[in-house]
Amino acid sequence: MTDTSFTSEAALKRLKKRRGKEWRFRIWGRAAIGFALAALAWLLISIVGTGYTAFQQNFMTLEFELSESVLAPDGTRDPEKLRGANYRRIVQTTMYELFPEVTDRKAKQELFGLTSASGATNKLRQMVYNNPELIGQTINVTVPASDQIDQLLKGYIKRDTDESRRKVSDQQIAWADTLKERGVIKKKFNRILFMNPDSRDPELAGIASAVIGSVMILVVAFVLAFPIGVGAAIYLDEFAPKNKFTDFIEININNLAAVPSIVFGLLGLAVFLNFMGMPRSIPLVGGMVLALRVFPTITIATRSALQGVSPSIVDGALSLGASHTQAVFQQKLPLAGPGILTGSIIGMAQALGETAPLLMIGMVAFVTEVPNSITEPATALPVQIFLWSDSAERAWAERTSAAIIVLLVVLITMNGFAIWLRNRLEQRR
Amino acid sequence: MIMKTLILGTASAAFLMACGGGDTAAVKEKTSEAVNETAEKMTGGDIRVVGSSTVYPFSTKVAQEFKNKTGYNVVVESTGSGGGHKLFCSGADATTPDITNSSRRQKKSEFDNCVKNNVGDVVEVKIGFDGIVLANAVDAAVMNMSLKDVYMAFAKEIPTSDTDCTMQENPYTMWSEINPELPSVKIEAYGPPPTSGTRDAFVEIAMEGGAKSVACMAELLKADKKAFANNAHTLREDGKWIDAGENDNALVQTLVNTPTAVGVFGYSFLDQNADKIKGANIDGTAPEFENIAAGDYHVARSLYFYIKKSHVDMTPGLQEFALEFTSDAAVGPGGYLEEIGLVPLPDADRAAVRATVENMTPYSQ
């Protein structure tokens, strides 16, 4: 006769086996989470490690003499004419005066290269354009140092590399060190990165236009996708007859959520640009394309939220005499609200990271101005990151990482907000 | 409570819209028309540039300077040379680009497409040279190769001998097998994919140039141009040549990590990364700025942009932009484009190009 008690040797063995299984499963689970965390940590460390230095930049405070003989030899004060004046000469004069002993032409050129040529000239140009009365005065202005000097002082350009193999000469290193001692070059918070639109010069490039472009795209996408997505879900779930046709639609919506995003870009190109004749590179079209991209996500999230509401609530409402519509809109929908919102915010976060569809509709572009409306050319943050990462100058590396940090912070904020909102709305009930 | 009203509001609005299906379509059409009009008013003023990703850094630099000097807005898109010509030649109305950048000359088929779509006169502007370099890690062996070595290393099929043009599968696995003076490391190259203009230029200049130096191939070129090009343009598919992505910074990193590999890319990346990589000498000439400018370095191509003449009256500032792009301050020796890696044209050529832009002289093929 076999022993069936729970303390027999066979039973204990089985118990041990079961516990061993459980233990192994836990170990696997922890290993999986540990791996995910390690990957995340590696990503964050490598990006923050290269990117954090971009939040500071080396600036030069210089004294510029805006002499009339150079800027306005004919005595004009017309801002439009003053735009084309020779500001480069003014900057050159100032730079040469820093080290008056330099006379050689090539050395002078190198000396001029310490400052951001286009940063300094444009700053002066803007100041004179806004206030032509400045001509004839001597003013103190802070301008960015050139990207090479910035990279040198941050340690990205190694001093022990052979002179012929680096972009900064020994002479320039000596000058930069002297100017740093004199207090002319100072490291400050890099406002340019946040306030400026894109620029070809790393030391002048910022993410302002890309961030605003991204915000516009998201707003358009949300305004279009949220009502359509939620409306479609409610109708399909509550009002549509259950037949082959609605099954077919359901399968298609689920499929749509899994379609590679570049396909939506092609669709946008064919329909919005070629057929409807809308202009390229505008946030309106970008938003419309991304609305197509996120609306299936929102529909699916809404449907699962609606299905998660206890049927007894609708039954109760119906038994008290509410119509079907009343029961759905007044009882079921508010209860599904947190789920719908979370799904939508996660969908929007997805849209924020999209680059591929924007490629097709011409948003991979260089735009020199912060867009004022959704019909002005703009670019988006992930596109800007893509363009920067492919530029040759060394200084782009840290700026690319800095832009990625900003994108990640925005994404974390959005997802965090979704969680906070869900918890808050669930508590209120 | 506010949340509830908000959800109800949007949801019911959507529901109502869904009910009146027919009306929505009409409403949408009207709004899109209105949007179109305003959009055209607002973006019609901008100068729109599309095209090559190689010319993109130069074009954006000029766009920025031009915007600062004149206030005109220039939008530069990076679509690749082929994509640029396609958009540019799609028509002549205001929504089509004003300028397309190209890292090679416009092809006959692209020009014909322009004619077919009534684009009208097109002005061709050459802006300068760009060298294509073969580079390896800075502490790897120096490579001194001829164009013939390049052809022998990368062509899928090569002639059996200098005089016998019976094709055979490329047998070489080590550089030293091709030329004893080359280091004895395995052949491994990372280069641009076929969609890239840099690839087009590489096969046309380096591979064809190398093929021509084989006696029987030179005869083949005279006899059957197509067969010649077919052979010279087809790169190895046995893993010795690897199509790398378009991101050249990643390519530089790969070369640093794999000291035996060589990479193919534009001169400006070598210029910026001279502490990490070094260029191979081709036919005894190093890929240096002076050599490319003087025409001594053979693997160099010209960069162009094309202007739609009919848009000069339509888009304010277009001709001025082209003039800025061809000014000595930009493309001349010591100009701001030289600082970021463009190799200037000889003085006489620059003057001729400048005259073309001043008179807006159209070109034909």
Q: Do A91 and A128 reside in the same domain of the chain?
A: yes
Same domain, A234 and A282: yes
Contact B101, B59 (CB under 8 A): yes
- What CATH number corresponds to the domain at position B182? 3.40.190.10
Q: Rounded mean pLDDT of chain A?
A: 90
A166 and A311 in a single domain? The answer is no
Between strands B47-51 and B74-77, the pairing is: parallel
Verify that B181 and B107 share a domain, yes or no: no
Please say which residue of A157, A189, A221 terminates a domain.
Answer: A189
Contact B308, B325 (CB under 8 A): no
State pLDDT tens for residues A193-245.
999 999 999 999 999 999 999 999 999 999 999 999 999 999 998 888 888 99
- pLDDT of res. B295: 86
Four-point Cα dihedral A100, A106, A111, A116, nearest 10: 140
Average pLDDT of the segment spanning A85-114: 89
Position with higher pLDDT, B29 vs A131? A131
Is residue A379 domain-shared with residue A235, that is, in the same domain? Answer: yes
* Chain A CB within 8 Å of residue B31 CB: no
B 268-327 residues with CB < 8 A to A:
268-269, 271-275
Question: Which of B6, B31, B38, B42 to substitute to test the interface with A, most A CBs within 10 Å?
Answer: B42
Question: What is the residue range of B22's domain?
Answer: 2-34
| CA-based nearest residue in chain A for residue B55 | A391
Are the beta carbons of B69 and A200 separated by less than 8 Å?
no
Residues of A whose CB is below 8 A from B69: 83-84, 125
Looking at the structure of chain B, the number of domains it has is 3
Query: Looking at this protein, which amino acid is placed at residue A376?
Result: E
Q: Which two tokens stand for residue A37?
A: 């965390």
Average pLDDT value for residue range A31-52: 94
Mutate: best of B2, B5, B15, partner A, most A CBs <10 A: B15
Q: How far is CA A238 from CA A307, B8, B71, B216, in A?
A: 10, 15, 56, 77
A184 domain residue, yes or no: yes
| C-alpha A278, offset from chain centre | 25
Provide, as residue numbers in chain A, all residues whose Cβ is less than 8 Å from the Cβ of B57.
Answer: 200, 391-392
State whether A159 and A302 are in the same domain. no
* pLDDT interval class at A3 (50, 70, 90): low
- Residue B77 shares a structural domain with residue B157: no
Mutual angle of helices A283-307 and A244-258, in 10-degree steps? 120
Which one of B2, B77, B265 makes the best mutation probe of the A interface by having the most chain A beta carbons within 10 Å? B77
CB–CB of B14 and A228 under 8 A?
yes
Asked if residue B227 and residue B95 are part of one domain, the reply reads no
- Classify B161 as helix, strand or coil: coil
Measured between beta carbons, the chain B residues lying within 8 angstroms of A235 are: 15, 18
Of B36, B43, B71, the CB nearest to A277: B36
What pLDDT score does B215 carry?
85
Are A396 and A286 members of one domain? yes
Q: Is the pLDDT of residue A1 over 70?
A: no
Q: Mean pLDDT highest for which of A24-28, B139-143, B174-178?
A: A24-28
The domain in which residue A355 lies consists of 208-428
pLDDT of residue B5 exceeding 50, the answer is: no
Beta carbons of A364 and B248 less than 8 Å apart: no
With CB atoms and an 8 Å threshold, state whether A276 touches B36.
yes
The pLDDT score that the predictor gives to residue B28 is: 43
In this complex, which of A121, A166, A280 lies closest to B275 when CB atoms are compared?
A166
Residues A242 and A279 in one domain: yes
Whether residues B11 and B71 share a domain: the answer is no
Which of B19, B35, B59, B338 best tests the A interface by mutation, with the highest count of A CBs <10 A? B35
In a domain, A334, yes or no: yes
Clarify whether residues B246 and B353 are in a common domain: no
Is A265 inside a domain boundary? yes
Q: Write down the pLDDT at residue A9.
A: 86
Convert the pLDDT of each residue in B189-198 to its tens digit.
Answer: 998 888 777 8
Residue B105 covered by a domain: yes
Q: Are residues B46 and B121 in the same domain?
A: yes
Residues of B whose CB is below 8 A from A390: 53, 246-249
Per-residue confidence at A359, pLDDT binned at 50, 70, 90? confident
E-strand spans in B230-318?
A: 241-243, 262-266, 277-279, 281-282, 300-308
Q: Do A390 and B341 touch (CB under 8 A)?
A: no
Alpha-carbon distance B291 to nearest alpha carbon in chain A (angstroms): 16
Query: Which pTM was predicted?
Result: 0.84
> How high is the pLDDT of residue B353?
93
Q: What is the model's pLDDT at position A96?
A: 92
| Interchain pair A364, B77: CB under 8 A | yes
* Predicted confidence (pLDDT) at residue A133 exceeds the cutoff of 80: yes
Q: What is the ipTM of this complex?
A: 0.84
Query: Residue B88: is its pLDDT beyond 70?
Result: yes
Q: Which two tokens stand for residue A322?
A: 């509410």
Answer whether residue B365 is part of any domain: no
State whether B165 and B190 are in the same domain.
yes
Same-domain status, A183 and A250: no
Instruction: Say yes or no for a CB contact (<8 Å) between B39 and A161.
Output: no
The whole-number average pLDDT for the span A296-305 is: 93
A56-65 β-sheet, strand order: A138-144, A56-65, A185-189
- Please write down the HEC assignment for all residues of A318-344: HHCCCCHHHHHHHHHHHHHHHHHHHHH
Share of chain B above pLDDT 90, in %: 35
Residues B170 and B234 in one domain: yes
In this structure, are B67 and B191 located in the same domain? no
pLDDT digits (tens, 9 = 90+) for B28-76: 444 444 444 444 444 457 899 999 888 999 999 999 999 888 889 899 9
pLDDT at B224 over 80: yes
How many structural domains compose chain A?
Answer: 2
Same domain, B149 and B123: no
Inform me whether the C-beta atom of residue B21 falls under 8 Å from chain A C-beta atoms: no
In 3-state terms, what secondary structure has residue A90?
Answer: helix
pLDDT tens per residue across span B6-20:
444 444 444 333 333
Asked if residue B247 has pLDDT above 80, the reply is no
The amino acid at residue A310 is: S
How far apart, in Å, do the first and last CA atoms of chain B sit?
Answer: 70
Mean pLDDT of B240-268: 86
Are residues A265 and A354 located together in one domain of the fold? yes
Q: Do A392 and B269 touch (CB under 8 A)?
A: yes
Domain identity same for B236 and B288: yes
Does the residue A200 lie in any domain?
A: no
| Inter-chain touch A158–B275, beta carbons under 8 Å | yes
Statement to judge: residues B221 and B115 lie in one domain:
no
Q: Is A121 in contact with A207 (CB distance < 8 Å)?
A: no
Nearest Cα to Cα of residue A64 among A28, A21, A27, A115: A115
In this structure, is residue B241 part of a structural domain?
yes
Q: Cα–Cα–Cα angle for B109, B114, B119, nearest 5°?
A: 175
Specify whether A297 is located in the same domain as A330.
Answer: yes
**Do A225 and A155 fall into the same domain?**
no
Residue B355 forms contact with A (CB below 8 Å):
no
DSSP type of residue A166: S
Examine residue B59 and state whether it is found in any structural domain, yes or no: yes
Question: Mind listing the pLDDT tens digit for each residue in A253-281?
Answer: 989 888 998 999 999 999 998 888 888 88
Same domain, A351 and A424: yes
Q: Which two tokens stand for residue A126?
A: 């803007």
A167 domain residue, yes or no: yes
Instruction: Round to whole Å and give the CA distance between A284 and A376.
Output: 9
